[in-house]
Structures are given as structure tokens and as C-alpha cells.
Structure 1
Amino acid sequence: MSIKRSLTSVPLRLSTLAMLFFLLLGTQVYAANPEVSDSEEAISAGKSVFNANCKTCHQLDRKAVGPALRGLTDRRSIDWAKKFIRNSQALIASGDADAVGIYNEFNQLVMPNHEFLSDDDVMNLLAYIEYGDKADPAAAAATGDGAQVAGGGAGIPSEYLTIILGVLVLVLLLILIVLGLIISILTKYLKNQQLDAEDEEFINQKSDFKKLFRSDAFVIIITTLVIALVAKTAIDELYTVGVQQGYAPKQPIAFSHQLHAGQYEIECQYCHTGVELGKSANIPSANICMNCHAHIQNVGGQEGISPEIAKIYAAVDNNQPIEWVRVHNLPDLSYFNHAQHVAVGGVECQTCHGPIEEMEVVYQHSSLTMGWCIDCHRQTDIKSQGNEYYDKLVQLHSGSKDALKVKDIGGLECAKCHY
């Protein structure tokens, strides 16, 4: 029986599964120990253990904070691996040459104990290390299975209004040009005809532009254009009220999501601990930062650490919170629950926040307007498979030919978001 632990249910741990250990960098093609199962069930269960305990500091095929793990059971015995995973410090204290060598190679970083892992957990973990995710994980899509929802505010987009206004002005100019050509052709034709004195005087009269500019038609046309331009400008400004797309405030500490979430593949839930449990994702405290930086940056003391990381130490030493600047803001009249979307709906972080793992400085990727949310609810299929929460809803929807979408379970009801 495997134990699946999320980062919110297990005390925050620096490296996660043992293994700040195995693997000295070298060839990474190994014959795995035959005692390790290669079944899909074992690999899947091992991946859950790895993601909850190891992924913060380890990767399978390349060195990160700790060594690459693939081929561990070829280089070490399973009994040794179990001891190191559960209590690496005890193995190091016993004088084991391999354990001491790895401890020194990785700057004497202390890996937390994992005595809560059962034998089945460890064996499943080893199965995942040897056989799991051999394809390049970077090829996987980062945005999840949900529908890709672009922009989208309510009403007519500003771009459409600009196009409509431009077309109207162009049509008006074409009409004036055509009328001018018709008048010119008719005038030339009539001048060659036998006309009476009154008609000839009318044909030969000179254009009075002052009279044209004072005419009712000209005044109406100009007034209409001015009103249209003012109206368009006002509508454009109204649509931007409360919309902060692209907002990227300067933070008190220059934290790089590209480095942490991208290069080191730290799960969002490791720092934003409330995302699966409540309405807010939670802004991480300095203590969460120190789970890693207390070990990574303290080699040789605090001397030589970067000024940005020094700010973390200062916040902890002075018992003062880091005053992060909120990037994503919704109006007070709107209700959004992260747990409902992430834990129940299975929505990926990138669906709303964009390619967060590529951002050196975090910015608001989506508009987060009401129209944007409604479009998402209209287009996104419900991930009902294996989720008992939706069983009754799926049964009620069984008579429809279309897939069950968020709009079908009340996703367009006003009271869902406005309370």
C-alpha cells in the first residue's frame, strides 16, 4: 500500500526523498536492479512519492540541488538505499564510505529523514526512479487539458470598434469621391448640350465651399464623427477599469520563477501552500524560503551570499514578514476559490497565470475579466473521470451529446461569483 503525500500535508522538507545521495555524475545508462518492479502501478505510485518528497531538489536524469537519481539501484544495494532514504544522517554517522562521500560532495547538505515511508513506498519510489518518465518531460504541454481561452472581456472588443469606425469613415470618403466624379462627368456632358439660359447658369456656377461647410449635411456628418470618436474612446477606457493585464510590480526581493519553477522544477504548491486547500493560494513566508536556503546558502556562513538572499535572512532574524506586492487582484465583488479550481477541477496553474515557469519577473498574463472567466466556463470540459464529486452531475448530463462543461453545472450563474 503506497502513501501519497501532498506538499500541504507533509511538513515542508528541503530535499525530499532521500537520495541526496546516490549517483555521482557520470554515465546515466544503467541496468536497474531486477528486484525493482517495472509495473505501471508501482511507477505511478512511486511518482506520487517522488513529487511529494523529492522533486524540489532532485531530477531523474540530471543534477539539480542534489544528484541525478536514475541508476541508483545499479550503483547501490536496495538495503543501502532504504537506510539512506529513511535516515541519511545515521548512515553517515556510522562511517559508511559511500554515504560520507556523497554528503561531502554535495557540500554537507543535510537531508531530512523519511522514516514515515514504508517499504512499499520506497520500492515504488525506486521503480519510478529507474523506469519513470524516460521521455523528455519538457515536451509535455504546460497548460493542462483545459480549453485555451484568449483575452475576452464582455461586450464588443476595442479592436472591433476601431475596425467598424474605420470602415464607416472609409465608406463615407468613397461615397464623396464617387459623387464628385459623377458631378464632374455630368457637368462636362451638359456643357456640350443646348441648354436654356437658366440651366446654363446653373451648370456654370462656381462651387461655394463656405456654403458647403455651413450646410446642415456637413454639420451632421462632422458631428457624427466627433461623437463616434468620443464614444469609442470612452468605451475603451471603461473596458480598462480594473484590468491590469501585463502588470508586473517590482518586488522587495528579486525572486525568479524562471529559476525556481522552471530550472529547478519546484512545484507551485510547495510555496503556495493554500492553493489546494482554500480560497487563496497564500504568499509564502520567509520560513518556506529558508527550508531550502538555510542549507543551500549557508556553506561557509552568510558571507558571500547574494544581496537578495540576504534579505531573506534579515526577515527571519528580525521576525518581520517580507512585504511581497500582490500581482493578481480581483475586485471585492468577485469570489474565486483556488481549491475548487485546482483540487476539484484539476485546472493547471498555467491556464490562468500563463507560462509562470518562464517568467523572470511575474506579471499578470490573463485579463481576468468577467468575460474571460465566462468564456472559460463555456469552453472548458469537466474532468469527471475518477472524480466522485461529479458522478451525479455526469449521470444527469448523460442524455446530452455534448461533453459536460462548466456552464452545465452552474458555471454561468451570477451567484457563483457575485455574493
Structure 2
Amino acid sequence: MISCIIKTKSKVFFAFLFALVVSFGAFAQEQAAEQADVAAKGVVPGATEGATTSATPAGDPAVIDAGEALFKNNCVVCHSAGSDVIVGPGLQGVTERRNEAWLIKWIKNSQALIQAGDKDAVAIYNEYNKQAMPSFALSDDEVKSILAYIKSGKGVVSAPVAGPEDAVAGENVGTDAIGAVGGYLDIVLVVLIVVLIVLVVTLLLITSLLKNYLNKTRTLDEYDNEIVNQRFDFSKIYKSNAVRTLVVLIFVVVLLDLTIDKVMGIGIQEGYQPKQPIAFSHKLHAGEHQINCNYCHTTVYESKSASIPSANICMNCHSQIKTESPEIQKIYKAIERNRPIEWVRIHNLPDLAYFNHSQHTQVGGVECQTCHGPIEEMDVVYQYSPLTMGWCIDCHRETPLNTEGNEYYDKLVELHEASSAGAFTVSSNGGTECSKCHY
């Protein structure tokens, strides 16, 4: 009778313990899924893209496009194509305020006009704190194409329309987005251990009280006396199926926790949005002021990596702009201490994978937004794409190669068309071979 009661209590205890483990595991899974859903939805900006105020631009579209490229490479750091003042005045309507001949002279060599005593040139020079505009080795036709671009209104961007989802669009999920699952598993382990200790102590106390009660108040027969007063055999613990199951379960949870932490550490961290040492806004610089990515990331078209801008590049503008800002003061302090700004890396591929920026941007013509998302809309940059092997391979399989005018591809395209009806993609040119990225 008594032995049956004790065995029943043991079974109930282990059943309760197992149910507790399962419930905590389910809780962790639900919370991790919820966190992943928030990270996937909450970090994607919901602002509507600004539309240009101009309809169909006047003039030759080819000339305007050429002027746009020249403007972004030479002028956009100090001027906007709209009315906003950056370092110099906004250029919207400048072709109506000044004649073309004067503008060509001013853009090619502003200092020559100032030294010659031109009233308009001297007035502009004094109005903008005597900031000398650099001279540009541009031809008259190139300057005219820039003026055509400005006149077209193509570069004038309207303010984005706020949507109801914008309240959470730029929410900084920080490093919590990386270790969400691992963090919940850590909590499960700690809680599980604490609960296990409490339950074991409680069961021992109940057993001791029951044993004392039976010895004092009941006359036990030989069999019951042996059961109640038997010495505790520790070997029964590790031989118990329930204990072994519990140990295996804990081992699996710990192994899963470590595995997830390691996996999250090799770049599978879509939505990762860490806090940076300086609050730099790509939305302000690349979006509103339309500064070309190449201005700060100077090697993006020339090298394997897109370089992190030095403090000197920041000072090209901020030696004059917002000099009293607390964030800009951090740049000054870094320069004074002769120490680099310790930016937190966001996009981090594992060492086993080779990636070349110039091969994609310069040769392939891939836009920055293809991998990095709407970077011009991000106040705080986050990892937009998963950057997994499968994601890269899918891109190589779907992206057609531009082979026009390149004799290198003529024979390859001919062979491809003879054997396949599909487009000549990166994969067709060997872009999915293992040695392309792993060697």
C-alpha cells in the first residue's frame, strides 16, 4: 500500500516535471517566433517613397541623365538640386536667375570670377561665409548637361508621406534581434534548474515528514517497515528512466542553445540593427541630400570591400556644418585623440565565403539597394537581406548577364542558346560553382 503511494508520487512528480519542460519549450518557441516576426516586420520602413515634383523633364533625356551623373559625383556634397541649403545654395531655378554663360564660368572656376571683381560672384562668396567652391575640369557641354538636369527638376524630391506604420518603422531592435532565440533558451534553462531544485527539496521534505509520521503513529508490518525505512540508494537515480530522459532533454536544450548562438554569429541575422557610436542617418545624407554612396564608401566600385569612411571624409562638410552638434563633436574628439571611430559592423559574411563589391557594382551593375535594401530611407541602418548562401545562389540563377558589346561572351552565349532556352544568367556563366565563393 505504502510502496504504491510512494511510487505513484514519484510518477506524478516526473510527469509534472516533464510537462513543465515541454511548456517552457513551447513558451520559448512562441516567444522566439513572435520576436522574429517583429524583427521582420518592425524594421522595414513603411514611409512612402518621395516622388519627383517634375513631370516629364524638358530636353534630351540622355543629356539630363549625363548631367545627373556629373551632379551626383561632383556637386551633391555641397548643393541640392532643390531649394535646400547645404554648404552652398540650393540650385532649383538657378538657370532662371543666371545666364548660361555666367554659370559655365562660375562652375568651371569660381575663384577667377571673384578675383575679377564680378559683383554676383563676390556677393555669393560673401553670403556663404567665403567658402571657396573647387574648380572643376569640365567641358562646356558637361556643365550644360548639369544645368539641364537641374532645370528638369528631376533631382527635386518631395518630403515623404508619413504612414501609420512609421511609428515603428525605424525601431532599433539592437542586438536583441540576433540572440532572441538563444536568450529565451537561456531563460528556460535557468528557470528549469531552479524549479527542479525546488521540487526535489520539496519532495524530500514530504518524504521525510511522511516517514516520521508513519513510524510514530502506525504499526508497520515487516514489508512496509522495510519500504519506509530503507536506505536511499543513489544508484537508482542514474538508473531511472525518468532521470535519464530528463538529463538527455537538458543536454539537447543546451546543445540547441549553443548551436543557435553559433549560427547567429556567422551572419544569419536579418534585421540586425545595432546602435552606432555616432547617430549617423543615411536617410538624411543619402536620402534628403542625395549624397552618392561612393562619396563615403570610396572603394565600393574599385575593391573587394566598400571602405568605412574615415573622420576626414566627415570633416569635408562638418568642418562648417553643424559644428556644435553633440554628435559632430564626437568626430572632433576622435580626430583630436587620433583614433578611428569604432563603427559597429552590420553586414558580416563568414570567412569561408568570398564576396567582391567591385565585381557586383562595377562589372555587374548591381545597385546598392539590391542587397542593402532602401538604405536612403534608413535613419539607423539594419541588415535588410538574409545574406545566406541560398539567397545568393537564387540571385545568381535569376539575374541575366548584360553581354551586349562584350566579345568575351559571344561564344558562351552561342553555346548557351544552343543547349538551353532560358536567359544567359550568372549561373550560366559558372556563378553557382562552389569555387566561385569558396576557395
**Which 5+ residue runs of structure 2 have no aligned equivalent?**
1-52, 161-241
Alpha-carbon separation, structure 1, partners of 2:364 and 2:123: 45
1:353 and 2:375 are equivalent in the alignment: no
Residue 290 of structure 1 is matched in structure 2 by: 315
Structure 1 SS opposite 2:305: coil
Structure 1 SS opposite 2:390: helix
After TM superposition, list the pairs within 5 Å mapping 1:107-186 onto structure 2: 107-114=129-136, 116-131=137-152, 133=154
Residue 316 of structure 1 is matched in structure 2 by: 335
After TM superposition, list the pairs within 5 Å mapping 1:12-161 onto structure 2: 38-65=59-86, 66-114=88-136, 116-131=137-152, 133=154
Report the identity percentage.
57
Q: Is contact 1:258-1:358 (8 Å) kept?
A: yes
1:414 and 2:439 are equivalent in the alignment: no
- Per mean C-alpha deviation after superposition, the further-off stretch among 83-92 and 380-389 is 380-389
After TM superposition, list the pairs within 5 Å mapping 1:312-351 onto structure 2: 312-351=331-370
Residue 154 of structure 1 is matched in structure 2 by: none
Which letter maps to 2:432?
A: L
Which letter maps to 1:133?
A: K
Which letter maps to 2:330?
A: K
State the 1:124 CA deviation. 2.4
Q: Is contact 1:276-1:343 (8 Å) kept?
A: yes
Q: Is contact 2:269-2:386 (8 Å) kept?
A: yes
Residue 244 of structure 1 is matched in structure 2 by: 269
Residue 185 of structure 1 is matched in structure 2 by: none
Against the structure 1 CA distance between its residues 336 and 89, is the aligned structure 2 distance closer, same or farther, given a 3 Å change threshold? same
Among 283, 296, 299, the alignment partner of 1:271 is 296
Alpha-carbon separation, structure 2, partners of 1:81 and 1:315: 39
State the 1:289 CA deviation. 0.9
State the 1:385 CA deviation. 4.3
Which letter maps to 1:96?
A: D
**Which 5+ residue runs of structure 1 have no aligned equivalent?**
1-27, 140-218
Alpha-carbon separation, structure 2, partners of 1:40 and 1:54: 20
For 1:114-173, what per-residue CA distance to the aligned partner results, in whole angstroms no more than 9, with x for missing partners?
A: 1x112222222223222363786999xxxxxxxxxxxxxxxxxxxxxxxxxxxxxxxxxx
For 1:324-356, what per-residue CA distance to the aligned partner results, in whole angstroms no more than 9, with x for missing partners?
A: 222211111110000001111111111111221
State the 1:414 CA deviation. 0.5
Against the structure 1 CA distance between its residues 388 and 294, is the aligned structure 2 distance closer, same or farther, given a 3 Å change threshold? farther
1:376 and 2:388 are equivalent in the alignment: no
1:256 and 2:276 are equivalent in the alignment: no
Against the structure 1 CA distance between its residues 94 and 316, is the aligned structure 2 distance closer, same or farther, given a 3 Å change threshold? farther
Alpha-carbon separation, structure 1, partners of 2:63 and 2:150: 11
Alpha-carbon separation, structure 1, partners of 2:134 and 2:410: 40
Alpha-carbon separation, structure 2, partners of 1:382 and 1:252: 40
State the 1:68 CA deviation. 3.1
TM-score (norm 1): 0.62
Alpha-carbon separation, structure 1, partners of 2:321 and 2:281: 16
Q: Is contact 2:72-2:291 (8 Å) kept?
A: no
State the 1:389 CA deviation. 6.0
Against the structure 1 CA distance between its residues 136 and 307, is the aligned structure 2 distance closer, same or farther, given a 3 Å change threshold? closer
Q: Is contact 1:109-1:296 (8 Å) kept?
A: no
State the 1:71 CA deviation. 3.4
State the 1:250 CA deviation. 2.6
State the 1:57 CA deviation. 2.9
Alpha-carbon separation, structure 2, partners of 1:332 and 1:55: 36
Q: Is contact 1:47-1:132 (8 Å) kept?
A: no
Alpha-carbon separation, structure 2, partners of 1:358 and 1:308: 20
RMSD: 3.5
Residue 402 of structure 1 is matched in structure 2 by: 422
For 1:202-249, what per-residue CA distance to the aligned partner results, in whole angstroms no more than 9, with x for missing partners?
A: xxxxxxxxxxxxxxxxx9xx99xx89x979967867754522222223
Against the structure 1 CA distance between its residues 232 and 394, is the aligned structure 2 distance closer, same or farther, given a 3 Å change threshold? farther
Alpha-carbon separation, structure 2, partners of 1:386 and 1:258: 37
- Per mean C-alpha deviation after superposition, the further-off stretch among 336-345 and 391-400 is 391-400
After TM superposition, list the pairs within 5 Å mapping 1:220-235 onto structure 2: none
Alpha-carbon separation, structure 2, partners of 1:138 and 1:387: 41
By percentage of residues, which structure has more helix?
2
TM-score (norm 2): 0.59
Which letter maps to 2:290?
A: E
